[in-house]
Chains A and B, each alone.
Chain A
Amino acid sequence: MEKVELLAPAGSFDALTAAINAGADAVYFGVEQLNMRARSVNSFLLSDIKEIASRCRKGKIKAYLTLNTILYDHDMQLLRGILKEVKKHKIDAVIASDIAVIEMCNQMNIAVHISTQSNVSNIEAARFYARFADVVVLARELTLKQIEAITKEIKKKKIKGYSGELLKIEAFVHGALCMAISGKCYLSLHSQNASANRGACVQNCRHSYTVTDTETKEELLIDHEYIMSPKDLCTLPILDQVLASGVNVLKIEGRTKGADYVYTVTRCYREALDSIAKKNFSQEKIDGWMKELSTVYNRGFWEGYYLGQKLGQWSPVSGSVATEKKVYIGKGTKYFSKIKIGEFLIEAGSIKAGDTLMISGANIGMAKEKLETLVVNGEKSEQAVKGDKITLPVSAKVTSRDKIYKVVSTIDA
């Protein structure tokens, strides 16, 4: 089996570093408003591309830029500007669905990956896009059997991508699913004039609804489920089967997620992939990873459509069922680089010795650790409260943009 690529989301520098540290082979990110997470407050700017490229090169991973919204005439100049930066800083590929982007990338000799927004669901569509692209991300609604048929045909017919190498197939393995067919949701547009296909999805599907018979005015109860909100995709328990379907790239969803999420999910999938390669993928290990995965944001897990379930599985809640949550405590203030100690100012709440803390920052990515001894204002102490400064060992430089959280269990809380 060839080596598959593990592709992680990077919505911030913290998440980018976390992805590198967790063992991703590549990351994808968006800039400015032309990406599907335009709503995200901390989206990267055009000027960040340089730094992203250099961090990825240092971390020896690939970087892909997502440019997969619908585009209008007034976006063309911005598009060209973005692609110039991509070229200049040698970003490895652009993930696209609009023909304008694909065409411009081809002209500029930038590698193209076809986004899931293009909804590629059969071999002929893949063959069509192979003329312009090297990787095709399949629609998220295919079964593994259907995927396998596509990957087999690519090998058999030697369908080559734009670069001349065999066309690669990418599939989502983990993260939020959309109630609609990939890239075909207009719910948000109808309800709030906010086009999901322009990255402004307001997530109507995550609310609970009742169905009312307009004739009798009778309300139908729908089993207390959020009927339009699918649970999150999690293929870890069937990862060996996913690999057997012949996919080349495994994508983790989540550009709006924090460093802790990216680190935990990427790490679990990395370990699982390595374990499959070593042929010691076992139920016991899967149980361990599943426990890890459920500590970060999730709406409950299911295996998506891969095993051919007819109907989606709906989430019982609107938000997360994660077994842990992070509570903001404070921010970084100083770093003593010789002794690798970071100083943090407590701005909210309190912590005590024995608490588990999580740091998120552009240099550290994410680090989670149980605090055995607590040093407050330079002295060993039992508790730290608002206004106190705490110091602890941190392996990478701490800046004022680093945040520190207390990790609390949501089960016995």
Chain B
Amino acid sequence: MPNIIHYRNRCIGCGICYELQPELWRMSKKDGKATLLRAVKKKDVYVLELTRHHVQKSKETAEACPVRIIKVN
């Protein structure tokens, strides 16, 4: 299954990912950025292996991120 990757440093906290996919995202109250739930931190990026039924929706979320910092592959 593909991974979803979040380059969190560059997140501008617009909240679209959370709107579209609340099952995977939360908006952090601490720093106002998005947090990818259950993701593993690798260096500066967060990675989560997707389950099959999350793939399509995740691609749409990646498309919607205004600064293009969500990748599915």
Is there contact, CB below 8 Å, between B32 and A75?
yes
Is there contact, CB below 8 Å, between A78 and B11?
no
Q: How close is B33's CB to chain A, nearest CB, in angstroms?
A: 7
Is there contact, CB below 8 Å, between A77 and B15?
no
CB closest chain-B residue, reference A77: B29
Is there contact, CB below 8 Å, between B32 and A195?
no
Is there contact, CB below 8 Å, between A33 and B16?
no
Set B11, B29, B64, B65: member contacting A33, Cβ < 8 A: B11
- C-alpha spacing A32/B31, complex, angstroms: 9
Is there contact, CB below 8 Å, between A192 and B13?
no
CB within 8 Å for A34 and B32 given contacts A72-B27, A193-B64, A193-B66: yes
Count residues of B near A (Cβ-Cβ below 8 Å).
18
Is there contact, CB below 8 Å, between B14 and A74?
no
Is there contact, CB below 8 Å, between B29 and A193?
no
CB of A59 within 8 Å of the partner chain: no
Count residues of A near B (Cβ-Cβ below 8 Å).
22
**Residue among B15, B27, B66 facing the most chain A CB atoms (10 A cut-off):** B66
CB contacts under 8 Å to B, within A171-209, are: 192-195, 198-200, 202
- C-alpha spacing A39/B33, complex, angstroms: 14
CB of A138 within 8 Å of the partner chain: no
CB of A398 within 8 Å of the partner chain: no
Q: How close is B55's CB to chain A, nearest CB, in angstroms?
A: 20
CB of A375 within 8 Å of the partner chain: no
Is there contact, CB below 8 Å, between A72 and B13?
yes
Set A74, A194, A202: member contacting B13, Cβ < 8 A: A74
CB closest chain-A residue, reference B26: A74
Is there contact, CB below 8 Å, between A39 and B31?
no
CB of B28 within 8 Å of the partner chain: yes
CB of B30 within 8 Å of the partner chain: yes
Is there contact, CB below 8 Å, between A33 and B66?
no
CB contacts under 8 Å to A, within B2-35, are: 10-16, 27-33
CB within 8 Å for A192 and B66 given contacts A33-B12, A39-B12, A72-B27: yes
- Which residues of chain A come closer than 8 Å to B15, judged between CB atoms? 72, 74
Set B64, B65, B67: member contacting A39, Cβ < 8 A: B67
CB of A38 within 8 Å of the partner chain: yes
**Residue among B11, B13, B29, B67 facing the most chain A CB atoms (10 A cut-off):** B13
- C-alpha spacing A202/B29, complex, angstroms: 27
- Which residues of chain A come closer than 8 Å to B11, judged between CB atoms? 33
CB closest chain-B residue, reference A34: B32
- C-alpha spacing A74/B29, complex, angstroms: 5
Chain B, residues 30-70, CB within 8 Å of chain A (1/0): the string is 11110000000000000000000000000000001111000
Set B16, B32, B64, B67: member contacting A78, Cβ < 8 A: B32
Residues of A within 8 A of B (CB): 32-34, 38-39, 41, 72, 74-79, 81, 192-195, 198-200, 202
Given A41-B10, A76-B29, A200-B66, 20 new contacts (CB under 8 A): A32-B31, A33-B12, A33-B13, A38-B67, A72-B27, A72-B32, A74-B13, A74-B28, A75-B13, A77-B31, A81-B31, A193-B64, A193-B66, A194-B14, A194-B66, A198-B13, A198-B14, A199-B12, A200-B67, A202-B66
Q: List 23 A-B contacts (CB under 8 A).
A: A32-B31, A32-B32, A33-B11, A33-B32, A38-B67, A39-B12, A39-B67, A41-B10, A72-B13, A74-B27, A74-B28, A75-B13, A76-B29, A77-B29, A77-B32, A78-B13, A78-B32, A193-B16, A193-B64, A193-B65, A194-B14, A195-B66, A199-B12
